[in-house]
Chain A
Amino acid sequence: MGRVTFRENRCKGCELCKAFCPKGIIVMASRINSMGFHPATVEEEDMNKCTGCAICARMCPDLVIEVEKEEKKVG
């Protein structure tokens, strides 16, 4: 279970995160940021599919994405 947060004002809409997300949950928002780009985002209803793999963050050239992951509960 993971969560990603996007610093939308830094996003240049390059779509690399969207292309490489293994779960395909990243979309480009319809809104535009102050630079004129459509920022990448994950809709809240898709966030539960996020595994916290951080592939999106690693392919992002602009350090837009922060990734959190839930600690695996050890039985």
Chain B
Amino acid sequence: MEKVFTRPNSLKDMPMHYCPGCTHGIVHRLVAEVIDEMDMFDRAIAVASVGCSVFAYEYFYCDAYQASHGRAPAVATGIKRVLPDRLVFTYQGDGDLASIGTGEVVHAAARGEKFTAIYINNAIYGMTGGQMAPTSLMGQVTITTPYGRDRENNGFPVRMSEMLALLDGSAYVTRVSVHSPASVGKAKKAIRKAFEVQMAGLGFSIVEVLSSCPTNWGLPPLKALKWLEENMIPYYPLGELKIAAEVV
């Protein structure tokens, strides 16, 4: 018998603090597998943000930074401008990237900053206890929208990838999901492509990963993935939104 699946080397062998069934664990593993396969552990620099994944720097045990809320793209800009040959990635949730940090990610993309944003969209704020996110769906009940998100008070959910795809500095913008084995496989390919775009110096890359939050959605893990598939994908369509001409 030969081993066909083992843990990746680029992820620290330690228990992760995420909730049961939280897809952060899957995405962490995919990023680490890609770093392994590209043999980039020594060049990798992780920029953790603020959210459930604030401790991501413990798990991605390459060199790392912990950035203030929303500002990881600015921190990544500073790092990559000083160390242009490293593989720099941010790992951000929907509060970090689509709320407080919208300015930073938009301008990093506009400038074509050569790092990759891994954007975890689970339509809610996890770490702080289940508040509405800019990505929460219309009608979605959260602890700050107890009557359901409504357009009068809260406006509409934000599709970050579509916005970022409009910018010329964006070299690769794609949206994937991790609700099924097939989608997990596609997510991994997207992360690989994004990292390759970065190392080819083509510009800004972002992989938006539709993810679940069983705890704050109030659903068991499998039902949460079903909710994701049935509710989030129609609003946040999967697929590549921007591929720069030079990306093969």
Number of interface residues of A (CB under 8 A): 29
B5-A12 in contact (CB<8A): no
Interface mask (A34-74 → B, CB under 8 Å = 1, otherwise 0): 00010000000000000010110111111101111111000
Cβ distance B221 to chain A, nearest Cβ, rounded Å:
4
Residue B222 at the A interface, CB < 8 A? Answer: yes
Knowing A16-B221, A59-B184, A61-B21, the reply to whether A69 touches B26 (Cβ < 8 A) is no
B218 at the interface (CB under 8 A from A): no
Q: Once the chains are docked, how many angstroms separate the CA of A39 from the CA of B1?
A: 24
Complex interface: chain A residues within 8 A of B18 (CB): 61-62
Determine whether the beta carbon of A16 is less than 8 Å from that of B225.
yes
With A and B bound together, what is the CA distance between A65 and B26 in angstroms? 12
- CB-defined contacts of B25 to chain A, threshold 8 Å: 60-63
Pick the contact of A10: B2, B15, B180, B214 (CB < 8 A): B15
Question: How many B residues, CB 8 Å from partner?
Answer: 30
Q: With the chains together, A63 CA to B86 CA distance in Å?
A: 27
From residue 76 to 103 of chain B, which have CB atoms closer than 8 A to chain A?
Answer: none
A63 touches B29 (CB 8 A): yes
Given contacts A10-B15, A55-B181, A63-B29, contact A16 B21 (CB under 8 A): yes
Interface pair B2/A58, CB less than 8 Å apart: no
Cross-chain contact A57 with B5 (CB below 8 angstroms): yes
Binding site for B on A (CB under 8 A): 1-3, 10, 12-16, 19-20, 37, 52, 54-55, 57-63, 65-71
